[in-house]
A and B are shown apart, each in its own frame.
Chain A
Amino acid sequence: MAISKTVEGPEAGCAGVQSGMTLMLGGFGLCGIPECSIAELVKLGAKDLTCISNNAGVDDFGLGLLLQKRQIRKMISSYVGENDEFERQMLSGELEVDLIPQGSLAERCRAGGAGIPAFFTPAGYGTEVAEGKEVREFDGKPHILESALTADFAFVKAWKGDSAGNLVFKATARNFNPMMAMAGKITVAEVEELVPLGALDPNEIHLPGIFVQRIFQGTEYEKRIEQRTVQTRETA
């Protein structure tokens, strides 16, 4: 019989998060971010967090909410524009920032979940990203050694999921969520739709439930759009 991971809601999902922990949070920009878990983390008030996330949200949404409350000590990201409070904290030295090439960030999470402690990549060779890292040539091309990332908690967001933790993502909201789910010691998945066991076609599950420890049905998703770009119906 399938192992049930279902918990009541974000409160039970985030139980055990403490100050000083390392968290991974899925999403690209504001697309596919664990909105309900972030709101709960703000309520919990844990501080000195290290947050691994591709971006840092905007001033009043996403990880920007945790930044407002000064709960983050260190951000590990690939791109952190669009956030004034982030900039202020970074320039004043309150916030430590580690910028990582996006593909290396994704692979470091994947490696962390896959039991691979480190790998060589060409990305960043000859740049300041390579400083202090081992360089080795393969097929005559230099590569740098990048280490795996793991987290005390990983918070991910999916479109659908079942009580076994199996997840299906929607469109580009998948992004970093699957790898971060793999790399969390405790992975908390929030879903727009928690479906009955057996309702998901095993052929079409994107992330096997073995990587998920807790799952809950999220509510009131805002799904904010960062750059609304459209064609007017007249010109199209």
Chain B
Amino acid sequence: MKQHKENPMLDKNGIAKRIAQEVRDGWYVNLGIGIPTLVANFIPAGMEVEFQSENGILGMGPFPLEGDEDADLINAGKQTITAMPGAVYFDSATSFAMIRGRHVQLTVLGAMEVAQNGDIANWKIPGKMVKGMGGAMDLVASAENIIVAMMHTNRAGASKLLPSCSLPLTGVGCVKRVVTNLAVMDIKDGAFHLVERAPGVTVEDIAAATAGKLVIPENVPEMNIG
């Protein structure tokens, strides 16, 4: 898989672009730190979507212009942000009531490992400094629609799509869809089901990079991400 590491078929923006196609009019969406944050850049103009950040804002806007940053207005990644017209601020308990109470339609987050049964690990590597799970456990335990955005393999070239997670879990049986630099896959019935290929990537490439059980339908279309 060396070629993909050096020349990934989709870069981080490509993954974000593909995930943006999953967003529907009228949805409230929580985007995690990293690739998920980029999804906001690819929402079609005119679509009615509000971004929630779990530190207490609905209606999050883009980064502020130089000089307009406000220490009191940040996202969950502690980055300075802006608020859109119609935005609202709230406390952390209310924020997680939105999440746990399933008022947020889509959660997009990164992962270190995803298992074929939908388990996700993204907060702790034994033997390394543990920084904490933040809001990830609450998000994955409750959201009905969880999409994981990540690279198909880790820096050592090993698959991140596994028969079962080796790292401590963040949540069990919760991931529904995974979008990587190589493919879109759905998780059901204890397997990864290949849905789409990234441009220029073959089914064989994907199979070689997937350690978990992979179900390959007869026709696997290429992603259309313009």
Q: Report A's interface with B, CB cutoff 8 A.
A: 28-32, 54, 77-81, 87, 90-91, 97, 99, 101-107, 109-110, 121-129, 159, 169-179, 206, 223-233, 236
Binds A, one of B72-80, B150-158, B181-189, B190-198: B72-80
Closest approach, in angstroms, between the C-beta of B31 and any C-beta of chain A? 14
Please tell me if B89 contacts chain A, counting CB pairs below 8 Å: yes
Quick check: B138 and A31 within 8 Å, CB to CB? no
Interface digits, B91-102 against A, CB 8 Å rule (1 contact, 0 not)? 111011001100
Quick check: B64 and A230 within 8 Å, CB to CB? yes
Closest approach, in angstroms, between the C-beta of B118 and any C-beta of chain A? 11
Quick check: A225 and B100 within 8 Å, CB to CB? no
Quick check: B65 and A102 within 8 Å, CB to CB? no
Quick check: A172 and B73 within 8 Å, CB to CB? yes
Q: Which residues of A contact B53 (CB under 8 A)?
A: 172
Q: CB-nearest residue of chain B relative to A101?
A: B137
Quick check: A102 and B91 within 8 Å, CB to CB? no
Of the A-B pairs whose beta carbons lie under 8 Å apart in the complex, a sample of 27, sorted by A's number, is A29-B55, A78-B133, A78-B134, A99-B132, A102-B92, A102-B135, A103-B95, A106-B91, A106-B92, A124-B141, A128-B169, A171-B83, A172-B56, A172-B72, A172-B74, A172-B89, A173-B71, A174-B56, A174-B91, A175-B91, A176-B91, A176-B92, A223-B71, A224-B71, A230-B64, A231-B65, A233-B65
Q: Which residues of B contact A170 (CB under 8 A)?
A: 72
Please tell me if B161 contacts chain A, counting CB pairs below 8 Å: no
Quick check: A127 and B72 within 8 Å, CB to CB? no
Please tell me if B129 contacts chain A, counting CB pairs below 8 Å: yes
Quick check: B65 and A32 within 8 Å, CB to CB? no
Question: Which of A80, A102, A159 has the most C-beta atoms of chain B within 10 angstroms of its own C-beta?
Answer: A102
Q: Which residues of A contact B45 (CB under 8 A)?
A: none
Asked, given contacts A127-B170, A229-B63, whether A103 binds B135 with beta carbons under 8 Å apart, the answer is yes
Asked, given contacts A231-B63, A231-B65, whether A101 binds B138 with beta carbons under 8 Å apart, the answer is yes
What is the total of A-B residue contacts with beta carbons within 8 Å? 181
Quick check: B171 and A173 within 8 Å, CB to CB? no
Q: Which residues of B contact A30 (CB under 8 A)?
A: 71, 78
The docked-state distance in angstroms from the alpha carbon of A29 to that of B78 is 7
Please tell me if B43 contacts chain A, counting CB pairs below 8 Å: no
Q: Which residues of B contact A123 (CB under 8 A)?
A: 100, 137-138, 141-142
Q: Report B's interface with A, CB cutoff 8 A.
A: 53-57, 62-81, 83, 89-93, 95-96, 99-100, 119, 129-138, 141-142, 168-172
Question: Which of B79, B131, B136, B141 has the most C-beta atoms of chain A within 10 angstroms of its own C-beta?
Answer: B141
Quick check: A175 and B132 within 8 Å, CB to CB? no
Closest approach, in angstroms, between the C-beta of B148 and any C-beta of chain A? 16
The docked-state distance in angstroms from the alpha carbon of A172 to that of B136 is 19
Quick check: A122 and B100 within 8 Å, CB to CB? yes
Top 8 closest pairs, chain A to chain B, by CB:
A103-B96, A103-B138, A126-B172, A223-B71, A106-B92, A79-B132, A81-B131, A101-B137
Quick check: A230 and B65 within 8 Å, CB to CB? yes
The docked-state distance in angstroms from the alpha carbon of A123 to that of B136 is 9
The docked-state distance in angstroms from the alpha carbon of A188 to that of B111 is 39
Closest approach, in angstroms, between the C-beta of B57 and any C-beta of chain A? 5
Closest approach, in angstroms, between the C-beta of A220 and any C-beta of chain B? 14
Identify A78's interface contact among B63, B66, B99, B135, CB under 8 A: B135
The docked-state distance in angstroms from the alpha carbon of A60 to that of B54 is 26
Quick check: B80 and A54 within 8 Å, CB to CB? no
Closest approach, in angstroms, between the C-beta of B83 and any C-beta of chain A? 7
Quick check: A102 and B141 within 8 Å, CB to CB? no
The docked-state distance in angstroms from the alpha carbon of A230 to that of B82 is 10
